[in-house]
Amino acid sequence: MAPTRTFTDLYVEVQQFYARQMRQLDDRKLEAYAETFTEDAEFGHTPGREPARTRAGIVADLFEFHKKFENDPVQRRHWFNMIDVEPQDDGSIRSTCYALVVTTRPNGTPTIAPSCVVNDILVRGADDELLTKYRRVDHDQLF
């Protein structure tokens, strides 16, 4: 039987999920990041770029995207905030949040761009863990 969760339990779980997930991306643990998606997930992070589909597709897409940083000692950090969690009748969770990408180079001043809205559908995996089934990242500069 599914465990009883309060909304507060769920909200904290979603925050913890994002903290771990985004640290994996920022540490360039791209396979581990893809493991936080469902096998059939769809993930669009850049408007105008075809969304990645499936875990293998997400890994390939992110390796391709990060090639531009190969000779660029850059630390990117994705900061999530203003998380709006909406449980759905089918058991999935709609989660919408703000994301700021902070970029820092050695001895440099951090720059903040892009400013984004993240539109997620989260579902539960076989071990009741949260997984991202759908993610579309909208970028503010395009409005």
Binding mask 10-29 for ligand SDN (x = CB under 6 A): ---------------x----
**From the CB of 1, what's the least distance to ligand SDN, in Å?**
33
Task: Report d(CA 72, CA 18) in Å as an integer.
Answer: 26
Interaction of residue 99 with ligand SDN, rule CB under 6 A? yes
Describe the strand order of the beta sheet including 37-44 as a list of residue ranges.
52-53, 37-44, 130-139, 111-124, 93-104, 75-87
**Which one-letter amino acid corresponds to residue 92?**
S
**Inter-residue contact 42 to 51 (CB < 8 Å):** yes
Q: Which two tokens stand for residue 84?
A: 């709006």
Q: Does 111 bind ligand SDN (CB under 6 A)?
A: no
Q: Any contact of residue 58 with ligand SDN (CB under 6 A)?
A: no
Contact between 30 and ligand SDN (CB under 6 A)? no
Cβ proximity to ligand SDN, 87 vs 114, nearer residue: 114
Nearer to ligand SDN, 57 or 114 (CB): 114
